[in-house]
Amino acid sequence: MGSFIKKDLLLFWRDRKELITVLALPILLVIVLNFAFAGLFGGDQELNLDLTLAVVNEDDETGTIAQLQEKLIKEASFKETEVARLVEQVGDIQPIPLLFEYLSSEDLQDWLTVYELTEAEAVAKVKEGAADGILVIPDGFTVNSLYAALVGEPTASSLIYKVEMETSNSATLYQIIDGFLDHMNNHFALQQMGEVQEANAPEGGLEKIGVGEAFTLTQYFTISMSALFALFLAATVATKTGEEIRQKVFHRILLTDRKPILFLVGKIVSTAFLVWLQMMLVFVVSHILLDVFPDRTVTFWLGVIGSVTVLSLAIAGIATIFTSLLLRMTNLDAANGIFMLVIIVFGVVGGNFVPIYIMPNWLQQIGEWVPNGLFLMILTEWIQFEEVSSIFSPSLLLVGFFLTCTVLGVALYPKRGTV
């Protein structure tokens, strides 16, 4: 068994060009991409945004309390004494003033400009490119929102957000508005539970939820490039099998009366070892050069090593199938083309070529079932929260993927005399 593993490692070691490409190129790409996109998504640099929102307020807030009282009596069948008590509770809650207070808060005013316009003026401003989006406050919004909060029903009026085309600025504005609505909904929910609190507008800006750490673009590049080249390594190992076929290595194994399956087992072990070595080298060197994972504990690095290990097994499983297919195919170039096509598909859906969060939701869900995409998900969670539960179940899926591929590879492996 050891001789088969040694053979595969020596075969790879002798191809110095391939060795340098697999080990050095992902590190070089991480460095280049990091400097090319430095400051694009957060980091230590200040947020550089210039957002403009046009607000169209169609709601008439005069007589809100009277309208609310009438609505509660007629539609919800509340008694007048109960209505008086409920109206007193929400007397200080005015959604529209709170919204404007939030949009003009100190945290947002440096990079958000708000115009209160008519609908025609707002549409013209968007078409001119002078506004990134339109927020329409429909007629009856205040009364319907307060009524829905008091009776526990869905509101009959909702804020309407309009954009001419989806951009990063319009998406950011949507998140700002959605954050305000979440705050208001939470307050109303607490109120219904009897925990009435003062309705303050939420603070603007970017906020970390819980105790999670930030996930940076440099970390994303490090993970995605290491996983991508791990996939390429599976194809490389299979390609070396083509050289062994030309050199009659497989036939010589048969003549020595050694078990042919040991040839395949050697490929599995050597691939797992090479992938593990390549990925850990990318992680360690990138961290040394770019400080990718600052101030991390030994526990964090143990989690990284464990995640890399299970991905190495999954990639070895892919190499098993590739090797068995290559031994069965007569056209080695066609086989290599198929392998590269599979890797490219895996790389795209797994988020190695483009960030996975810009893809459609259905494609993101598919990406979580390929090994490189699952690995990206594991480390994204681990970097932010360092919870063992976040890597345990996905790691079992990667082990299951390895076992499935290994069984399939063994089933496809040619029997004695068929090569």
Residue 375 CB-half CA count within 13 A? 35
Q: In the numeric block, which tokens belong to residue 333?
A: 């170039």
Q: Which tens digit of pLDDT belongs to each residue from 160-195?
A: 888 887 776 777 788 788 777 776 766 666 555 554
Residue 204 pLDDT grade (very low, low, confident, very high; cuts 50, 70, 90): very low
* Side chain identity at residue 204, one-letter code: G
Bridging pattern class, strands 160-162 and 133-137: antiparallel
Residue 300 pLDDT grade (very low, low, confident, very high; cuts 50, 70, 90): very high
Residue 360: exposed, middle, or buried by beta-carbon count in 10 A (0-12, 13-18, 19+)?
exposed
Is the pLDDT reported for residue 3 higher than 80?
A: no
Q: Which tens digit of pLDDT belongs to each residue from 90-124?
A: 656 678 888 888 888 877 777 788 989 998 999 99
CA distance 19 to 28: 14
Residue 263: exposed, middle, or buried by beta-carbon count in 10 A (0-12, 13-18, 19+)?
buried
Domains and CATH numbers, the chain: 2-42+212-412 (no CATH), 51-192 (3.40.1710)
Residue 201 pLDDT grade (very low, low, confident, very high; cuts 50, 70, 90): very low
CB count, 10 Å around CB of 222?
Answer: 28
Q: What is the CA radius of gyration of the chain?
A: 30
Please tell me the least confidently modeled range out of 7-16, 21-30, 336-345: 7-16
H or E stretch including 137? Answer: strand 133-137
- Give the per-residue pLDDT at 49: 65
Percent of the chain with pLDDT over 70: 80
- Give the per-residue pLDDT at 253: 63
- What is the phi/psi pair of residue 368, to 5°? -75, -5
Which span out of 171-175, 300-304, 389-393 was modeled with the highest average pLDDT? 300-304
Q: Over range 53-70, report the average pLDDT.
A: 82
What one-character-per-residue DSSP string does 52-96 give? EEEEEE----TTHHHHHHHHHHHHS---HHHHHHHHHHTTT--HH
Mean of all residue pLDDT scores within the chain: 79
CA distance 198 to 191: 10
Is the pLDDT reported for residue 400 higher than 90?
A: yes
